[in-house]
């Protein structure tokens, strides 16, 4: 290793020392990946800090870099879950920009046969919940569903903060989803996002008890199985995901949103497996592509060898408070040269500490996910220097 592959980092006790990069990869991303699982990467957005005056309110994307990253994901075999939580939906990204993002991603996907863009349809253009009725929530869903269908995107019905605020119990959730699902053109992916990702979604499906909430959700799915491609649950609890997976109607997929346990859940067991709709796929895309390709070829051992080192990184990025994981996703994209700066919508780059980013750097290196070690070391050193390291 040369001196350019060393960088000063903080440890968990706040002490600094020189770290020497390993810079080694025990796998290669496939040139023509083929998966036997559906795999959607929830993709981040790239801001344009030069155009931002007020980071609290300004929504200015670097469209070139944002779309280039989607092409990177698509080239590795991933479909894209667009304008979702990873793109700071509800934490900086508004509905008009989301629709523009979905539209442009659909256009990019035309160059990648077999790749799908599924856009998040929600109710986030409702911002004032005072006096809100269920009809208002239904109308909001219908507006976004119609717009996404019109631009050629598939649908992910996102969990709704507005619905969580006004629903009085499971019957209100059933009424809203029943009305919306009757109208969609093609099967959709439902989205159950746990409160660790968004505290405003506490008690979703009408109960704070997971099994009661699960029963309500399963009732919706069974009533509309022909209109439901699958459900993504993000509860960070593999046992709950497996329990629900085993109760899904035939033909309805489970899409894991468990960024803590994805290797095991995707590989599956004798009774089934999960597909993937994950934010961590944005960060570990080359490794995940190689692993999923190996799994499709029947080489589970290689699949596990590739993904095992990514788990500590994923669990670190998604550590509590989990909703700030986007900062780690974007930091790694910056380290790897996919964008020219480290900044997020709403100034969210400040949501994690210098120690957090130092540990992320180590774990990404150990997983073979620093694509250009010299560039990554140089950027980490500059970042540390700005923060007094």
**Model confidence pLDDT, tens digit, residues 31-63:** 999 999 999 999 999 999 999 999 889 999 999
Lowest mean pLDDT among 21-30, 229-238, 357-366: 21-30
DSSP 150: H
Q: Please report the pLDDT score of residue 92 as a whole number.
A: 96
**Model confidence pLDDT, tens digit, residues 171-184:** 999 999 999 999 99
**Helices assigned H by DSSP within the chain:** 63-75, 95-109, 134-150, 161-166, 170-181, 210-223, 238-245, 262-267, 280-283, 285-296, 300-307, 310-317, 325-335, 354-366, 373-386
pTM of the complete model: 0.96
- When pLDDT is cut at 50, 70 and 90, the band that residue 1 belongs to is very low
Q: Please report the pLDDT score of residue 23 as a whole number.
A: 73
**Contact (CB, 8 A) for 191 and 232:** yes
Residue 366 has pLDDT above 70, yes or no: yes
Task: Tell me how far apart the alpha carbons of residues 107 and 199 are, in angstroms, rounded to a whole number.
Answer: 34
**Model confidence pLDDT, tens digit, residues 86-123:** 999 999 999 999 999 999 999 999 999 999 999 999 99
Residue 3 has pLDDT above 70, yes or no: no
- When pLDDT is cut at 50, 70 and 90, the band that residue 26 belongs to is confident
**Model confidence pLDDT, tens digit, residues 281-331:** 999 999 999 999 999 999 999 999 999 999 999 999 999 999 999 999 999
Q: Please report the pLDDT score of residue 142 as a whole number.
A: 98
- When pLDDT is cut at 50, 70 and 90, the band that residue 274 belongs to is very high
Query: What phi and psi values does residue 6 have, to the nearest 5 degrees?
Result: -120, 145
Residue 255 has pLDDT above 80, yes or no: yes
Chain position carrying tokens 């019109």: 150
Residue 130 has pLDDT above 90, yes or no: yes
- When pLDDT is cut at 50, 70 and 90, the band that residue 260 belongs to is very high
Task: Tell me how far apart the alpha carbons of residues 73 and 16 are, in angstroms, rounded to a whole number.
Answer: 35
Average pLDDT, the chain: 96
Chain position carrying tokens 């969210």: 348
Lowest mean pLDDT among 21-25, 157-161, 323-327, 373-377: 21-25
């Amino acid at each position: 290793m040369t001196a350019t592959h060393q960088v000063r980092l903080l440890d968990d006790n706040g002490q600094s020392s020189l770290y020497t990069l390993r810079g080694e990869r025990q796998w290669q991303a496939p040139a023509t990946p083929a998966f036997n699982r559906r795999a959607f990467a929830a993709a981040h957005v790239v801001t344009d800090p030069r155009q931002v005056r007020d980071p609290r309110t300004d929504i200015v994307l670097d469209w070139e870099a944002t779309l280039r990253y989607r092409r990177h994901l698509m080239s590795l075999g991933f479909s894209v879950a667009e304008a979702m939580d990873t793109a700071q939906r509800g934490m900086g990204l508004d509905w008009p920009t989301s629709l523009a993002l979905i539209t442009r991603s659909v256009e990019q996907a035309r160059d990648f046969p077999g790749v799908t863009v599924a856009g998040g349809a929600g109710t986030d253009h409702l911002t004032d919940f005072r006096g809100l009725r269920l009809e208002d929530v239904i109308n909001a869903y219908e507006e976004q569903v119609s717009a996404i269908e019109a631009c050629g995107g598939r649908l992910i019905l996102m969990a709704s903060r507005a619905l969580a605020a006004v629903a009085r119990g499971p019957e209100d959730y059933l009424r809203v989803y029943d009305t919306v699902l009757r109208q969609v053109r093609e099967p959709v992916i439902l989205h159950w996002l746990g409160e660790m990702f968004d505290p405003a979604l506490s008690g979703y499906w009408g109960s704070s008890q997971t099994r009661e909430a699960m029963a309500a959700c399963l009732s919706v799915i069974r009533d509309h199985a022909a209109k439901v491609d699958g459900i993504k649950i993000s509860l960070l609890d593999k046992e709950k995901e497996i329990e629900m997976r085993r109760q899904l109607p035939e033909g309805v997929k489970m899409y894991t949103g468990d960024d803590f346990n994805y290797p095991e859940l995707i590989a599956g067991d004798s009774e089934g497996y999960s597909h993937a709709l994950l934010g961590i796929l944005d960060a570990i895309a080359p490794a995940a592509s190689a692993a999923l390709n190996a799994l499709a070829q029947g080489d589970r051992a290689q699949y596990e060898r590739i993904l095992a080192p990514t788990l500590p990184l994923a669990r670190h990025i998604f550590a509590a408070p989990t909703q700030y994981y986007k900062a780690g996703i974007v930091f790694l994209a910056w380290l790897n040269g996919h964008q020219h700066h480290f900044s997020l919508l709403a100034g969210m780059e400040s949501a994690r500490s210098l120690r957090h980013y130092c540990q992320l750097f180590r774990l990404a290196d150990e997983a073979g996910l620093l694509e250009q070690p010299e560039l990554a070391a140089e950027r980490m050193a500059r970042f540390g220097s700005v923060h007094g390291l």
